Structure 1
């Protein structure tokens, strides 16, 4: 049974995949997870986007966001540029992708994948034991 309200997907919801190339395993380091969280929280306070779910892998960011005052195309590039400025020299974004989530089934599918990704990659034995996801929210993102 879905917990989504009718018309919950009228405002665009997106799944974003942002892999890092070059520098490697940064996003689960406290410093860089804090930088990501601060930027996402600022963008939420300014009503640009709303973070619905997230998982930070060592070398990639997985987000489900809802558009706010800005459409994805207007928000995403400045977000990536702002984060890249805080990463070590040599770090660069890899092939970043996005996909529109149009209904509750698609949302639940992506959220499930994001939740279990650290388990499948051998980083945790249980999704509840992985710090940098929406469940544990050690990054302190306003969900």
Structure 2
């Protein structure tokens, strides 16, 4: 049992912490990509994926809509719920604004920010946070 615990701790240490926003989740899914796999390709290793609570709430609102965006949000929520506590962690915070929550969690956790939103990307850069920008044309995240 101790060996397993040590292995899990070691694996967590090697994993790159990444906080995602709504745009990263939806764009990646819209392109038919597995979110965790796309992020692991970008960092060339394992990721510890964090989704702020407010991002989950945004996805829940979008999931109530009809159309493609609503369907993507429902798929995203299902994936998050199935993977919670295994490959995805819901990040608890006090922020109301999604972008602020993503940045705050990234700062507190020493994590990368993964987004497709150029305004959020600019704010992350200004704070000196490592950034993974989703490029729909290339269907991948790129360090930026």
Fold shared per TM-score above 0.5: no
Task: Tell me which interval the TM-score lies in, with the shorter structure as reference length.
Answer: 0.3 to 0.5
With normalisation by structure 1, the TM-score equals 0.32
Q: Whose RCO is larger (CA < 8 A, sep 6+)? A: 1
Is the helix fraction higher in 1 or 2? 2
